[in-house]
Amino acid sequence: MKMKSILLSAIVVLFAVAVGTTHAVPLFNGVDLSGWTYGSWAWEVENGVLRNTGVGDIRDWLRYETELASEEFSFEIRMRVVDHSNAYPRPRIYMVHEFYFGNEGFINQFEIYGSDLTNIQQVGNDSYDIGEWNVLRLEVDNQDQVSFYKNGILTHTATRIRSTPLNILIRPGDDWSAGHIEISSITYIPEPATLLLLGLGTLALRKRKYYHF
């Protein structure tokens, strides 16, 4: 029976990879800040929406406590900028210190940035309006090709220079342009290759235990 269980687990994992099944991991539960640490108390959750209520500069950071695998993944956030203190907002979502997306510059636009990226190209409209909800999705494949989408439309491509574990950090603004954002969902999606490695790793451990190696 144990051997049958092992084989069944392997079949399930391989089938999930073959049909492209995704296992989305919600990082925000819509209720509270479980799993997150923050630089100030200026965050609250109300009616399923996360918002910063402080001054909105770099002190209002929010960090996910757990490192995430980065070999091949998707990261998606539904958010909107509700106000800012200057002529332009600067909310940013960091994957690692030198790999992030958000707003830089003097117009309202979502782009990808960082010295961990090269060959950044804009291929679609990346502008947005204050108060408008947007779904921002970052995808990195096993060839280190980066694709960035706004509301399902590809807006930027790039190449990742190095792969390091994800340390998700959110800032609603900086010292030059503070602001406030609202977030309704944050999702991490390990892609099929990552799932396969996880599944085969589990299979190997079970097999080793079964045969007492």
Residue 207 corresponds to which tokens in the numbers above? Answer: 């097999």
Q: Is the pLDDT score of 3 beyond 70?
A: no
Q: What is the pLDDT at residue 18?
A: 47
* 102 and 200 co-located in one domain: no
Give the pLDDT score at 10.
43
Question: Do 29 and 128 share a domain, yes or no?
Answer: yes
As a whole-number percent, the residues of the chain with pLDDT over 70 amount to 78
Nearest by Cα to 178 from 109, 100, 92: 92
Indicate whether 48 and 86 sit together in one domain. Answer: yes
Q: What is the dihedral of CA 51, 101, 63, 56, to 10 degrees?
A: -40
**In this predicted structure, which of 71-80, 155-164, 203-212 has the lowest mean pLDDT?**
203-212
Through-space distance between the first and last CA atoms of the chain, rounded to whole angstroms: 19
Contact 77, 70 (CB under 8 A): no
Q: Do 164 and 132 reside in the same domain of the chain? A: yes
More confident call, 147 vs 208: 147
DSSP-assigned letters across all residues of the chain: -HHHHHHHHHHHHHHHHHTT----EES--SSS-TTEEESSS-EEEETTEEEE-S--SGGG-EEESS-B--SSEEEEEEEEEEEESSSS---EEEEETTEEEE--SSS-B-EEE-TTEEEEEE-S--B--TT--EEEEEEE-TT-EEEEEETTEEEEEEEES----B--EEES--SSS-EEEEEEEEEEEE-HHHHHHHHHHHHHHHHHHHHT-
What's 123's domain CATH number? Answer: 2.60.120.560
Instruction: Report whether pLDDT(75) > 70.
Output: yes
CA gap 66, 168 in Å, rounded = 8
Residue 102, amino acid: G
Query: Are residues 106 and 211 both part of a single domain?
Result: no
pLDDT in tens, 123-181: 999 999 999 999 999 999 999 999 999 999 999 999 999 999 999 999 998 888 888 99
Mean pLDDT in residue range 37-57: 90
Same domain, 128 and 34: yes
Q: Write down the mean pLDDT value for the chain.
A: 82
pLDDT in tens, 86-96: 667 889 999 99
Which range of residues forms the domain containing residue 137? 23-190
Residue 79 reports pLDDT greater than 70: yes
- Please say if the pLDDT value at position 68 is more than 70: yes
Q: What pTM was computed for the model?
A: 0.79
Q: How many domains does the chain have?
A: 2
212 or 77: which carries more pLDDT confidence?
77
